[in-house]
Structure 1
């Protein structure tokens, strides 16, 4: 994801701030200079000047590139906040001028790009067509760090652990379920337990899925059930869907990413229960806690919140 354009976002700040942030992102002075379209010597000079002014090294020079020192980490948090706040101010000034422009960086999961993210983008396009959106696909564990580092305005993910640097903007709690073909004996059930999935091979999401922990806990509880066996692991929603469609077993996920197959009747999602209680997976939209969102990101967050509200109301 691209940093805010230095030509616009940084005019009111010392150039060293933008150069430092570019080096932090790139991990090298040469790559930062290429991205900024300036000479490497100019970038290096700015970093050296900042280190002299602060009286502390900001980067360790390693064979594989540059790494932030403890002092650099402290400065990085300040710079991220400054740059994001400058972006917010710029977007508000644009709004005053009637421009209603801006750019949003979102990081999310592959399965949420089938229906959830496109619906929010379409709603934004209908109201504010001059706002652009970039969507990056990351694993669940990497999404919070992308927000905290300033690489993304927003993150959309399942089961994000609470962190003081993150704030939750919207949430939907979706039933976790077994995904089966329509001719499966389980397809007409209103709900099932994990133990009742014994027989066919189980297709589990890989460890990069946040709800893998929930599924493992259910498997542990049903571990003594005869015929319960894990046949496959898959690292994407698309792969799990294809495996079920080919008759390879039963997969476990929420309805997010299955929309087209469920609507066409090619797959059936049967909610998992533990006793009489449904197993719910929390899908949340997150931003940095310390920084106000730019107007463009706030507008997109509102539309995404509307989509999540509909998901929550429909049970996923």
Structure 2
């Protein structure tokens, strides 16, 4: 079976229609239909059933889908290993990232690694933390970097380190010169918070609940890019990891302050990979550079 046909088959299985798969892959619908027809002829079976909700894999299609991901991953590994033997500095590194790391750490690592290996290409997908884990587990990303609240059995965790939540403020904010901010002080100032489906908001809300503190955010936003201008241009505050905001902090555009609370305001940074997968050499090199950008794990010398 050709890998092109398998990719097109999986796209239709995932999206539920040839038209949607065509838009996702930027490939003509007729080409996708032809490849699926070739697969059905080769396997002598029907791979999809047409239902009101779209094209649904038949029992044979479901069986093929279970194995197609692994077949494609193995095919990519073989191509990568052959290129490495030939000394070709080419290839694609796919990274899934939660938003906090997409602002600085991931693009900075991509830039520096690409400078040393200009033949490589990179694909960065920014997703909520749970979805990062899901696509890494499915083999749709080589590495995932995300915040996590609990261990995951879906993936292999290559790095796991706790990091504290901080308050971000403009340099002229009344709290900017404080050494530490009490959680109980935060209701006195306008604050921007992420949406409730984020790990940061879940940890923060739990800490507030434990101390009986009620905070009504002036701004609730599902991305950091919306929160940061609010902090810079008002006497407002925001919450995030210092790792997410390293460049603005280094440039003194913002200041960060530790928060004192009864409950933990920490989350874990994880770098994740698909279980039982041998990472290509280029991905292993990128991983080493990514690890260099993160705090060393506790207890490491």
TM range (shorter): 0.7 to 0.9
Aligned to 2:193, what secondary structure does the other structure show?
Answer: strand
CA gap of 1:14–1:126, structure 2 versus 1, over 3 A, is closer
User: In 1, Cα distance between the equivalents of 2:7 and 2:101?
Assistant: 33
Asked whether 1:48 is paired with 2:37, we answer no
By how many angstroms is 1:72 displaced? 4.4
CA gap of 1:91–1:201, structure 2 versus 1, over 3 A, is same
CA gap of 1:77–1:269, structure 2 versus 1, over 3 A, is farther
User: In 2, Cα distance between the equivalents of 1:86 and 1:14?
Assistant: 8
Q: What are the equivalent positions in structure 2 for 1:176-215 lying under 5 Å apart?
A: 176-215=165-204
Number of residue pairs matched by the alignment: 295
1:294 to 274, 280, 291: 280
By how many angstroms is 1:283 displaced? 1.8
Asked whether 1:87 is paired with 2:56, we answer no
Q: Which residue of 2 aligns with 1:5?
A: none
| Aligned-residue RMSD, C-alpha | 3.0
1:305 to 284, 291, 294: 291
1:281 to 240, 245, 267: 267
Q: What are the equivalent positions in structure 2 for 1:84-163 lying under 5 Å apart?
A: 84-159=73-148, 161-163=150-152
By how many angstroms is 1:218 displaced? 1.4
By how many angstroms is 1:40 displaced? 4.6
Give the TM-score normalised by the residue count of structure 2: 0.83
CA gap of 1:301–1:14, structure 2 versus 1, over 3 A, is closer
CA gap of 1:231–1:46, structure 2 versus 1, over 3 A, is same
Aligned to 1:39, what secondary structure does the other structure show?
Answer: helix
CA gap of 1:200–1:31, structure 2 versus 1, over 3 A, is closer
Q: What's the CA shift string for 1:14-53, capped at 9, x where partnerless?
A: 7653443343345323555675566354233235347745
CA gap of 1:191–1:248, structure 2 versus 1, over 3 A, is closer
By how many angstroms is 1:214 displaced? 0.5
Gaps of 5+ in 1: 1-9
By how many angstroms is 1:132 displaced? 0.8
By how many angstroms is 1:121 displaced? 1.0
Q: Which residue of 2 aligns with 1:6?
A: none
CA gap of 1:70–1:158, structure 2 versus 1, over 3 A, is farther
Are 2:9 and 2:36, in contact at CA under 8 Å, matched by a contact in 1? no
By how many angstroms is 1:179 displaced? 1.3
User: In 2, Cα distance between the equivalents of 1:14 and 1:185?
Assistant: 60
User: In 2, Cα distance between the equivalents of 1:274 and 1:216?
Assistant: 12
Are 1:144 and 1:160, in contact at CA under 8 Å, matched by a contact in 2? no
By how many angstroms is 1:102 displaced? 0.9
Are 1:159 and 1:211, in contact at CA under 8 Å, matched by a contact in 2? no
Asked whether 1:174 is paired with 2:163, we answer yes
User: In 2, Cα distance between the equivalents of 1:52 and 1:273?
Assistant: 66
Asked whether 1:255 is paired with 2:242, we answer yes
Deviates more, 1:40-49 or 1:240-249: 40-49
